[in-house]
Amino acid sequence: MKKDSIIVIGHKNPDTDSICSAISYANLKNKIKPDQDFVACRAGQINSETEYVLKRFNVDIPEYVTDAGNQVKDINMRKTQGVASEYSLKKAWTLMRDLGVSTLPVTDNVDELVGIISIKDLATANMDIFDNTILSTSKTLYKNVVETLEGEIVVGDENTVIEKGKILIAAANPDLLETYVDEGDIVILGNRYDNQLCAIEMGAGCLIICTGSPVTHTITKLAQERGCAIITTPHDTYTAARLINQSTPIRYFMKTKNLITFKTEDFTEEVKQIMGKVRHRDFPVLDNEGKYYGMISRRSLLDLDKKKVILVDHNEKSQAVDGLDNADILEIIDHHRIGSLETMSPVYFRNQPLGCTATIVYLMYGENGVEIEPKIAGLLCAAIISDTLMFRSPTCTAVDKNAAERLAEIAGIDIVSFAEEMFDAGSNLAEKSPEEIFYQDYKKFTADSITFGVGQISSMNSRVFDVIKPKLLSYMEKTFASQGVDMMFFMLTNIVDESTHLIMIGDDAAMYVNKAFKKEVVDNSAILEGVVSRKKQLIPKLMVAMRNE
C-alpha cells in the first residue's frame, strides 16, 4: 500500500458484506478517480464463508490493517546512509556539512545500528578533549591521519593501528628534542633533517612532515629499518597540529547506550510522546528485522497528513478499526442504524435502509455509469445473499433481491446452488476453535450506559449447532470478564427454519431477552422463532428493553 493510498475498510471481525463491499467500492472509486489510489483493507481475520467467496471469484484477501493511525513508515524520512565506526571526526563533520544534517547513524557491515554521532559530540571532541595521547587511546588507524591531513603515507601501512605514544611538535633543537620524544610518539615537524633523524633514533612511531617537504632517501630507509611510519602533508605545522586530533575514529565519541530508536511499524502518536520527553534532534529508524532504515526528527512529523479512510458497512466507533481518531474519514457507506461515530469535518455519508451495503455499492456503479465486471458482480451478489440470508431476513428489500439477481447474471452463477455452497463453507465449523467461531461475526453495541456484544453464525443445517453450542457457551463464560461489556449474546441462526438459538452471558442478559421477546431463558439460552436478523430483529428489541429498564 502506497503512503498516499486511501483505505476502504469495513468493521472489525468482518463478514462477507464488509469485505466484498470494501473490495467492490475501492474498485469503483479507482475507476471514477484514476488519479487516486483506493485500496481495500480489512480490520480483522476473514471467516470461512468470506474465504470461500474470495477463492470462488479469484480475488486476493485484502491487506490487514490493525490501526488507521499514521506509522513511521508513512513519514518522508531522511534516508541518511549509515557510516562506519572507523570514520574520522573530520570525515563525519564533512559529511554532516554536505548533507545538511546534525546526526549520523553508525552501522556495521550488515546494517545493524551500533551508535549515533551528533554535531554536539563532534564539538565536545574538539573543544573539551586536550589529551595528547588521544590517537593511541582511541586506537586510530594511520589511514584516518592521512585522510584528515590530506597527506600521503611514505613509509608504513595505512591500516596499522596507533597503539601507543603521544602527539608532539618538534619545535626544539635535537639536543632538547631527544629528552621528550618517547617510543611510539607521533612527531609533527618540518624539513629539518636533524630533527627527523633524532625523532627516529628516539623510537618515534610516526613522523608527520609538513608543508609537503620531500623526505630524503636516508630518512626513508632509516624509518623503514626502525619501524617508524612517515606521513607527509601539504599543511603547515600549526594546521597539522590543529587537524590531527580530528582523525580520531567516531566510535570513540559516538553514543552506543540507551539509544532512542523507532521502528517503521510504530505509530506516530506514540512517537510524538516519546520525542516530547527528550531533546534529541534526530532519531534512527529500524525496519522489521532490526536493521537501520533511516532518520526522523520532530520536523518530520509537522506536515504529516493523516491517513485517509472510507468506512463501509458500519458507522460505530466501537466496530471501527483502531486509531480512527487519528485518521481523516472521507466517506461512510452503510445500511445500519446511525451510531456513535463523530467526524472532524463534513463527510459524504450514504446510509440506506437496505439489506446489505453491497446493494448500495451496486446502485453506485449504475449511478456512475461504470460497468460491473463478473468477479466484482460475484462478490456483491455473495454479500447480498449472506447479509439477507438468501432473502429470508426481514432487512431484505425488493431492491436487494433485484440487485442480487442482476449480479448473478453478470457473474454467471445460480443463486440457490451458490448460496448452498457458500453457507456450507461458512458453517463448516467442526475443526474451528470456539474463539475462531465466536469472532467470525461479532460486534459491540451501546444502549445508554449499557454495552453489549452480539455474535452470529448462520447455517442451513442446525445439527452443527448442537456440537458447537456448549463450546461457545464455555468460551463466553471464560472470556466474559475480559471483553469489556455488560452482556454477551450469540445467535445460532438456522436459515431454513428462519429461527435463532440465542445463547447469552451476563447478570441481566436473561432478563432483557425475556422482556424483549417474552421468551423463557433456560441454561443461558432461548429459542427465537422468526428471528434471523441481528440488525433489524435482535438489536432494536434488546435496546428498547434496556432503555425502558
Q: Indicate if 284 and 343 belong to the same structural domain.
A: no
Same domain for 153 and 206, yes or no, is yes
- Count helices and strands (H / E) in the chain: 20, 21
Amino acid at 342: E
User: 290: helix, coil or strand?
Assistant: coil
Distance CA 396, CA 353 (A): 9
Q: Is residue 132 part of a domain?
A: no
Q: Residues 262, 288: one domain?
A: yes
Cβ pair 175, 132 in contact under 8 A: no
- Quick check: is 1 in a domain? no
Choice among 112-126, 431-445, 457-471, 486-500 with the minimum mean pLDDT: 457-471
Q: Please determine, for residue 18, whether its predicted confidence score (pLDDT) is greater than 90.
A: yes
Enumerate the H helices of 149-267 as residue ranges. Answer: 174-177, 193-201, 217-226, 237-243
What pTM, to 2 d.p., does this model score? Answer: 0.67
**Percent of the chain with pLDDT strictly greater than 90:** 70
Burial environment of residue 508 by CB neighbours within 10 A (0 to 12, 13 to 18, 19 or more): middle
Q: Is the pLDDT of residue 462 over 90?
A: no
CA dihedral angle for residue 380, residue 23, residue 28, residue 409, rounded to 10 degrees: -20
| CATH number for the domain that contains residue 522 | 3.10.310.20
Do 147 and 57 lie in a common domain? no
The residue from 383, 404, 426 where one domain ends is 426
Provide the pLDDT for residue 430: 67
User: Domain range holding 284?
Assistant: 72-87+98-125+253-302
| pLDDT of res. 188 | 95
Distance CA 549, CA 543 (A): 10
Beta bridge partners of 211: none
For 33, the grid coordinates are 478517480
Per-residue pLDDT reduced to its tens digit, 45-65: 998 899 999 999 999 999 999
Residues 290 and 114: their CA atoms lie apart, in Å, by: 11
Domain boundary pick from 382, 401, 426: 426
Position 497 scores a pLDDT of 84
Do 289 and 227 lie in one domain? The reply is: no
What lies within 8 Å, CB to CB, of 95 at 6+ separation is 83, 87, 104
**Are 477 and 510 contained in the same domain?**
yes
Residue 364 half-sphere exposure toward CB, CA atoms < 13 A: 20
Spatial neighbors of 270 by CB under 8 A, at least 6 apart, are: none
Q: What is the 3-state secondary structure (H, E, C) of 437-451?
A: HHCCCEEEEEECCEE
Gyration radius (Cα) of the chain, Å: 37
Instruction: Please give the average per-residue pLDDT across 66-90, as a whole number.
Output: 90
Chain-centroid distance, C-alpha 276: 20
Between CA 126 and CA 137, with CA 132 as vertex, the angle to 5 degrees is 90
- Give the integer Cα–Cα distance in Å for 244 and 525: 85
Residue 500 CB neighbour total at 10 angstroms: 26
Number of compact structural domains in the chain: 4
**pLDDT tens track for 350-389:** 999 999 999 999 999 999 999 999 999 999 999 999 999 8
Around Cβ 67, how many Cβ atoms within 10 Å?
17
450-459 vs 442-447, strand pairing mode: antiparallel
Is 131 part of a structural domain of the chain? no
Residues 287 and 328 in one domain: no
CA torsion angle 478 480 482 483 (round to 10):
140
As given in the structure block, the three cell numbers for residue 522 are 433456560
Does any domain span residue 133? no
* 438 and 540 assigned to the same domain: yes
pLDDT band at 280 (very low <50, low <70, confident <90, very high): confident
Confidence of residue 321 (pLDDT cuts 50, 70, 90): very high
What CATH number has the domain bearing residue 406? 3.90.1640.10
Displacement of CA 13 from its chain's centroid (Å): 21
The domain boundary, picked from 231, 247, 263, lies at 247
DSSP 8-state class, residue 115? E
The CATH number of residue 258's host domain is 3.10.580.10
Q: Are residue 371 and residue 450 in the same domain, yes or no?
A: no
Q: What number of residues does the chain have? A: 549
How far apart CA 241 and CA 417 sit, in angstroms, is 89
- Asked whether residue 379 is assigned to any structural domain, the reply reads yes
Kindly tell me if the per-residue pLDDT of 271 is higher than 70: yes
